[in-house]
């Protein structure tokens, strides 16, 4: 079975591809020649995931799943939330986003936060939603060189290392995206045509 993962993010694609069973061929937006700026104008993480998946399914008539992730920081009233990728502006710079978040959080003692990923799967005329959450805290400075996005400033619960310091194999077991993806994969494994 071939399914489109609606992303151009090669790091994200590799993370998910490593989890997908071998009988499922994952292709990216680049692979299908989709270079459109797909709208993300919903007011929820789930809404954005649905919007992206629907766009690809309607335009290319292909089975597709899309994810959207938000980082919700308690002391910032849930910021950056759905604006995580463009928190510091439309240039979508991870460095700028992290710098703004650390600046806004300042010396606050409340550094609790959580990542939430929603995956919308469009398959054979049906839509299915899978959600993963990981709790943790925001560090006071960037730590680690791996990962992407906010990984260098997020330490997951029960760990002393940031996502950017943890091995990918560990991150792929505990992350918000991994949890949502595992639900997706469990569903696909049980699917009669998979």
Domain boundaries, the chain: 2-189
Place of tokens 């928190």: 87
Contact of 48 with 68, CB cutoff 8 Å: yes
Give me the catalytic one of 68, 74, 146, 151.
Answer: 68
Query: What is the band of 110 on the pLDDT scale with cuts at 50, 70, 90?
Result: very high
Q: What is the pLDDT of residues 56-103, one digit of tens each?
A: 999 999 999 999 999 999 999 999 999 998 899 988 899 999 999 999
Contact of 73 with 80, CB cutoff 8 Å: yes
Q: Mean pLDDT across the chain, nearest whole number?
A: 93
Give the CA angle between residues 92, 181, 175 to the nearest 5°: 65
CA 114 to CA 74: how far, in whole Å?
Answer: 8
Average pLDDT over residues 158-180: 93
Q: What is the pLDDT of residue 193?
A: 56
Q: Enumerate the H helices of the chain as residue ranges.
A: 10-17, 45-60, 94-105, 168-174, 176-189
Architecture of domain 2-189: Alpha-Beta Complex (3.90)
Q: Is 68 a catalytic residue?
A: yes
Give the CA angle between residues 106, 112, 118 to the nearest 5°: 115
């Amino acid at each position: 079975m071939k399914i489109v993962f609606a992303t151009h993010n090669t790091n994200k694609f590799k993370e998910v591809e490593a989890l997908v069973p071998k009988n499922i061929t994952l292709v990216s937006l680049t692979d299908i020649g989709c270079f459109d700026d797909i709208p993300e104008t919903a007011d929820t993480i789930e809404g954005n995931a649905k919007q992206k998946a629907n766009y690809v399914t309607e335009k290319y008539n292909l089975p597709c799943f899309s994810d959207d992730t938000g980082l919700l920081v308690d002391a910032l009233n849930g910021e950056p939330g759905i604006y995580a990728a463009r928190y510091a502006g439309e240039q979508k710079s991870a460095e700028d986003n992290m710098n703004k978040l650390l600046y806004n959080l300042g010396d606050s003692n409340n550094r609790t936060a959580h990542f939430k990923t929603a995956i919308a799967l469009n398959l054979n005329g049906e839509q299915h939603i899978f959600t993963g959450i990981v709790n943790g805290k925001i560090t006071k400075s960037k730590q680690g060189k791996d990962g992407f996005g906010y990984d260098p400033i997020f330490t997951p619960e029960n760990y002393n290392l940031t996502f950017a310091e943890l091995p990918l194999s560990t991150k792929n077991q505990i992350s918000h995206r991994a949890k949502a993806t595992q639900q997706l994969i469990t569903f696909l494994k049980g699917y009669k045509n998979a």
